[in-house]
Structure 1
Amino acid sequence: MMTGKHALVTGGGTGVGRAVALALAEAGAAVTICGRRPEQLATVARENDRVVAIAADVTDEAAMAALHADAEKARGPFDIVVANAGMSGSSPAHRTSLADWQHTLDVNLTGSFLTVKPALAGMTARKSGRIVFVASTAGLKGYAYVAPYVAAKHGVVGLMRALATELVRTGVTVNAVCPGFVETDMLQESVQRIIEKTGRTVEQARASLAATNPQGRFIQPQEVAAAVLWLCSEAGASITGQTLSLSGGETW
């Protein structure tokens, strides 16, 4: 289904990024993953020989431009770009430092822009391409104690809509998937913060997060990967400018 396609997945060493990269590779795509932790990237690359790992920081414009140039030279231009890299912290807004605010926006929002920017001219010229932002339900509604993350993910959704409008006549589609809490390392970090700040048990902390999903469960990385795979397929050719909520009905 994806044979002959070249895909970039940022944050590809763990969680959703790993699941997306492996799903694209299993569908036949050549996949380049990037992130800041070479060991984790190498582990994913060993799982499928269609996956190649390149260490790069999505907040570094020169590094992302170099990644695109090097990957294109080695395997051809990117047909698919999945901007997945992200991070989150937690604190009341009045206790959030400017440094924490800026870092969250740098990784989640600016990093998403720098991930896709080098691919835009080529995709437009070829009149073909798929761009998918991994946003969050935090891009569709507000949550307490994560103001920088909510602001950043709303920005990612806005960026997606702007690019979709700009590219709508070029054959390039631009969409966002917006999962609720996903069973990943980031979820475990959120659980740990709840335990430290409230004294709850692991089970109580996990239950409080799972309760945000009307289905009473966490989203699995493979579910997000399946949604991305569909948006990148020929079946998704008419889908652009959309937010796909994977949240058990929490948001639409």
Structure 2
Amino acid sequence: MSFSQDQAAITKLMAFLQEWDQSGKSVRSRILNDFIKYNMGKTSPELELEFAQGGSLFLTRLTAWMRLTYMIGTCLGLQLQAIGVFLSAASNHRYLIEFLEVGGVLTLLEILGQAQSKEEDKTEAIKLLQSIASAGRKYKEIICESYGVRAVAECLAKSKSEHTQEQACALLESLAHGNPKYQIQVYKGLIALLPCNSPKAQQLALQTIRVLQPQGMHKPVCFFMPVPSLDKWGGLCQEGHPV
């Protein structure tokens, strides 16, 4: 880019950010819809080119708005999808670190646990957690350290949407792979799901246990280890159904 082109791009970015900062829910919804439409699937370098090397400025604003409003559900689905544009972008390490540094993982897990969260919003939150987990072992550990196994397992047990349940179970399986520090915790979480109230959750948990066992997670070892109590797993299992 020439100097004049750089200046024009920066001016465009500042105008975009100013519009965002000065707008309410309806205008921000339009901005997010347009952003998702035109930027989904772009790589990190492509996003930086689009935002004159200032993509982080928009991600920071977007994440802050979500953290302030997720409990009341203001445009939550759009917020999650827009954040997903950044986190799913190839070469996204910078965006990923910035999202984690402001407590992004904890916010996503809290969304899963909210009674008022819509099923589609829970699914979008799980997709973001999956994007984070896909970045490697360190990121899987961060999710697990944030009580992520419990939150995802509870979502799987309580969700009314089979699609959400399938996404949650896929995330649990992902957290078990290449994550030896928390592999047993995930396995015990799946065992705790077996007597829960949801037949779909039971089916998915059993299928995932069968997938994980041949990969070094041997049944005799895990079944003789203490399984999380009902209190620790937030009432996932019914009384009178020991695991």
| TM-score where L is the length of structure 2 | 0.30
Structure having the higher helix fraction is 2
Ranked by relative contact order (alpha carbons within 8 Å, sequence separation 6 or more), the top structure is 1
| TM-score where L is the length of structure 1 | 0.29
Structure having the higher strand fraction is 1
Based on CA coordinates, which of the two structures has the bigger radius of gyration? 2
